[in-house]
Structure 1
Amino acid sequence: MLGSTSCSQQQSQELIHLQSDPPVAGELQHHQLLLTCARYISQTNFTAAHRIATILSANSSPSGDSSERLIHSFTKALSLRLHPPSPNNNNIITENDDAILHASYLSLNQVTPFIRFSHLTANQAILEAIDQSHHNNIHILDFDIMHGFQWPPLMQAIADRHPPPTLRITATGTNINHLRITGDRLAKFAHSLGLTFRFFPLLLPHTNNNNDNMNDEAETVNAIINRLSAVLILPNETLAVNCVLYLHRFLVNRDKLCLLLRKIKSMNPKVVTLAENEANHNNSIFISRFNEALNYYTAVFDSLEATLPPNSRERAEVEQVWFGREIADIVAAEGEHRRARHERFLSWEMMMRIAGFQNVRLSPFALTQAKLLLRLHYPSQGYNLEVVNDCFFLGWQNQPLFSVSSWH
């Protein structure tokens, strides 16, 4: 009882000190306040956490510098955790947000190297797998194709070959209209190249719906596995499976994710490309997950600050919608409701090996291409590329942000 009183007195003194200080100005002070607020939440001292969140709100802005914008996003997430939505709307990302998320994805692809780096490196791995194959027909199974930005450069590359191979894409998604629009766009581009091309949409269940427990999530994975059984695999074609920023959403049930990986392995692909956030946002301990997210997104926001003008509309959209929603989900959601479950490459490496896959070494040419992409389009000294265990890592300063690897 005496220890509890002492702890309460210490917290009160901390709050008095914080409230008596002048407005917070430094990034280090911002981070300290955020961590203190998160610590109070982990201790269920919601009154103290709310007071600090109020101080943070007064000292942050979505239109300030990178530190202020970061503090704004994390404060919103902490406030959402302190005042969660109703039980009928307990997911941070919902089906109704498809249009907003697709628009922010367009901006993400335009103003950051993250998506282009993943696509470019994955495409090179696919091209090299094709070169090692004796077939002149290519089949790509693309999980969550989105707008299909990845494929025109690859289509151009294979169209220049003599004779050009045929290309078939089986594209998964959760919105049939988006899939059809993407398919029509790619078909027109293939026609302009004189490339024989076929597109097959494969509608999958939505993973960001109102599922409230792991059993529902497991049923989603079961449904995906069953629908993959309907994918036609021809004996005279090279199969490539593309998983860019996709598989992490199934980490809520690791056993089911491993079943999905084994199903993909059973399809006998020549190559599987894998791109994921290089972070551990799947820690069940809130304060550890929060600290990891704070370090990770500090680097992300700093990279945007260094490479984009202050009034960039696209940057604001990427920060507030794409990354802002990731932050909100990592910080505010808990248990089975949390969807953003990124893990580091070492974890993916273990799961891929358990499923029967082996690393495919990415070529020196792929590394040269990735470096050229950064130098030409994102000429900042802050971005860096590293190769570890046959995996490419794109980072900002000393913080790895994304990994791309290929498997067979």
Structure 2
Amino acid sequence: MPSHISDHSPVLSTTTIMKIAKEQLKLYTSQNHDAYSIIFSPLIADLGLSPQVTEEVELVLLLLVSAEMLANRQLDCARKLLNLCINFSLSAGNPVQRVVYYFAESLRKRIDKGTGIPTIASNIDAVNPNIMEDVLMDPRTDVIETEQMLPFRKVTQFTGIQAILDGVKSFKRIHLIDFGIKTGSQWTILMQALVGNGECPPEHLKITAVGTSLTRMQVVGKRLTSFADTLHIPFSFKTVVSDLRHIRKDLFESKAGEVVAIYSDSRLWTLLAWPNHLQSLIQVCKSLDPCVMVVTEIEANTNTPIFINRFNEALFYYSAIFDSLETCIGWNHQYRAVAQGVYIGRIIENVITSEGEEMAHRHEKLGSWRTLFERFGIEETELSHSSLYQAKLLAEKSTCHGFCSLEMDGKSLIIKWKGTPIKSLSAWKFH
């Protein structure tokens, strides 16, 4: 961090404020200050921050000290400080206040859960990966609308589709397996691109959707079939009604002469709580012998049993998410409250309050996925120039241009928000 930030500097990002508070905590700790002197003393370093930003840094510092106390089993002190956090923060405030509010509430619930104090029941099932699949497949849901307003979704979606096209472009019979089809709208783009390929138009396109809601998938299938008819593409839609833990090769109707491509958009993380099932799924993928497997995942490491590490990782990641909501959507948009409270807030609660298999929401960074795939002899492959051009174009056309940036990590793409990694997109070949 710079030693001095003037009042005339650009508005600091939420993540930057978190970093300043983290550095202040390290500074206090190195000087052997106790918790209460940290809370009730002015900032040690003269950072030249505005009064508002200073208040935000102090609020985050209060949260960080509370988390450290909780990790050290100083539960009574932690609870008192968390009550202060909640009193000084707002679920409808600025991004820093929102982040502090949701994390402080979750920390307090973790203390209550550990000490046997009953708490107001929260609908944790709302963030169960299988139940959230139903929510995300509904094209009218506020969560989907919010997601589409952020640049990350469009960048990964269009770039992933291009990577699929690059893999299947020389084949006439294509079998696309989608581990989480959501609304399926992305495949209308693929169909249009296939029709536009005059050199090798498809003889048949088959999409197999994997999910737990047959009704939802059938609705998606009807929409895609109708769209394929308008383009005169020979098309069939199949469903595999199963969660990813129980996928088997014989559930897929693979036929001779078909080329298989697999698309996994933020789905593999749902198996991190069950490593054996994750490895089994990767083995099934390998046995299907796809020409390419495109994988999009959240770029954060919350899959650790060490609570304080998980807290810090989640805090910085969701600080960037709340910052992007503020920039791209605005504070009073009708969809934002739903996405923030019903979805993001409860994910934070699950990450903070749960352990073991109860912690459904956990993520790994690209390096961990790379290690896993390499163990199965699956090779990371280059994203084509057309894929990367598509990604760059979408990032630049975004209404949030300048804040969303792209960076290569090996052969894969990392999408960032104001420098904080948000998502990774990678393509894999099987041998």
Please tell me the TM-score bracket, short chain as reference: 0.7 to 0.9
Residue number in structure 2 paired with 1:353: 374
Residue number in structure 2 paired with 1:158: 194
**What is the rounded CA distance, in whole Å, between the counterparts of 1:229 and 1:190 in structure 2?**
26
Return closer, same or farther for 1:90/1:187 CA change in 2, 3 Å cut-off: closer
SS across alignment from 2:218: helix
Unmatched runs of 5 consecutive residues or more in structure 2: 1-32, 43-50, 114-118
Return closer, same or farther for 1:97/1:367 CA change in 2, 3 Å cut-off: closer
**What is the rounded CA distance, in whole Å, between the counterparts of 1:361 and 1:346 in structure 2?**
16
State the shift of 1:16 in Å: 6.8
Residue number in structure 1 paired with 2:318: 297
Q: Does 1:82 align with 2:111?
A: yes
Q: Does 1:149 align with 2:185?
A: yes
Give 1:285-364 correspondences, 5 Å limit.
Answer: 285-364=306-385
State the shift of 1:90 in Å: 6.9
The letter for the 2-side match of 1:61 is L
Q: Does the Cα contact within 8 Å between 2:168 and 2:259 map onto a contact in 1?
A: yes
Give 1:33-182 correspondences, 5 Å limit.
Answer: 33-84=62-113, 93-94=127-128, 102=138, 103-131=141-169, 133=170, 135-162=171-198, 164-165=201-202, 166-182=204-220
The letter for the 1-side match of 2:206 is R
Q: Does the Cα contact within 8 Å between 1:107 and 1:318 map onto a contact in 2?
A: no
Return closer, same or farther for 1:171/1:344 CA change in 2, 3 Å cut-off: same
Residue number in structure 2 paired with 1:231: 252
Identity of aligned residues (%): 31
Q: Does the Cα contact within 8 Å between 2:298 and 2:365 map onto a contact in 1?
A: yes
State the shift of 1:254 in Å: 2.3
**What is the rounded CA distance, in whole Å, between the counterparts of 2:53 and 2:370 in structure 1?**
42
State the TM-score, normalizing by the size of structure 2: 0.81
State the shift of 1:274 in Å: 0.6
Structure 1 stretch 315-324 or stretch 94-103: which is displaced more?
Answer: 94-103
Return closer, same or farther for 1:276/1:67 CA change in 2, 3 Å cut-off: same
**What is the rounded CA distance, in whole Å, between the counterparts of 2:120 and 2:85 in structure 1?**
24
Return closer, same or farther for 1:125/1:23 CA change in 2, 3 Å cut-off: closer
Return closer, same or farther for 1:290/1:299 CA change in 2, 3 Å cut-off: same
Residues 195-215 of structure 1: per-residue CA shift (max 9 Å, x gap): 11111111113xxxxxxxxxx
State the shift of 1:156 in Å: 1.0
Q: Does the Cα contact within 8 Å between 1:158 and 1:164 map onto a contact in 2?
A: yes
Return closer, same or farther for 1:333/1:315 CA change in 2, 3 Å cut-off: same
Return closer, same or farther for 1:40/1:336 CA change in 2, 3 Å cut-off: same
Return closer, same or farther for 1:357/1:105 CA change in 2, 3 Å cut-off: farther
**What is the rounded CA distance, in whole Å, between the counterparts of 1:153 and 1:98 in structure 2?**
22
Residue number in structure 2 paired with 1:378: 399
Structure 1 stretch 262-271 or stretch 35-44: which is displaced more?
Answer: 35-44
State the shift of 1:369 in Å: 0.8
**What is the rounded CA distance, in whole Å, between the counterparts of 2:93 and 2:121 in structure 1?**
33
Count of aligned residue pairs for this structure pair: 378
The letter for the 1-side match of 2:145 is S
Residues 125-164 of structure 1: per-residue CA shift (max 9 Å, x gap): 1101112x4x301111100212113211111111222353
**What is the rounded CA distance, in whole Å, between the counterparts of 2:36 and 2:55 in structure 1?**
23
Unmatched runs of 5 consecutive residues or more in structure 1: 1-8, 206-219
SS across alignment from 1:229: helix
Residue number in structure 2 paired with 1:217: none
Residues 344-391 of structure 1: per-residue CA shift (max 9 Å, x gap): 100000101112210110012211111111222334211100112110
State the TM-score, normalizing by the size of structure 1: 0.85
Residues 21-73 of structure 1: per-residue CA shift (max 9 Å, x gap): x9996332222122111112212222212112211111222221111121222
SS across alignment from 1:64: coil
State the shift of 1:100 in Å: 5.1
Give 1:196-235 correspondences, 5 Å limit.
Answer: 196-205=234-243, 221=245, 223-224=246-247, 226=248, 228-235=249-256
Q: Does the Cα contact within 8 Å between 1:92 and 1:328 map onto a contact in 2?
A: no
Residues 215-245 of structure 1: per-residue CA shift (max 9 Å, x gap): xxxxx72x22x3x322111121111011110
Q: Does the Cα contact within 8 Å between 1:93 and 1:325 map onto a contact in 2?
A: yes
The letter for the 1-side match of 2:287 is S
Return closer, same or farther for 1:35/1:379 CA change in 2, 3 Å cut-off: closer
Structure 1 stretch 314-323 or stretch 355-364: which is displaced more?
Answer: 314-323
Q: Does the Cα contact within 8 Å between 2:209 and 2:240 map onto a contact in 1?
A: yes
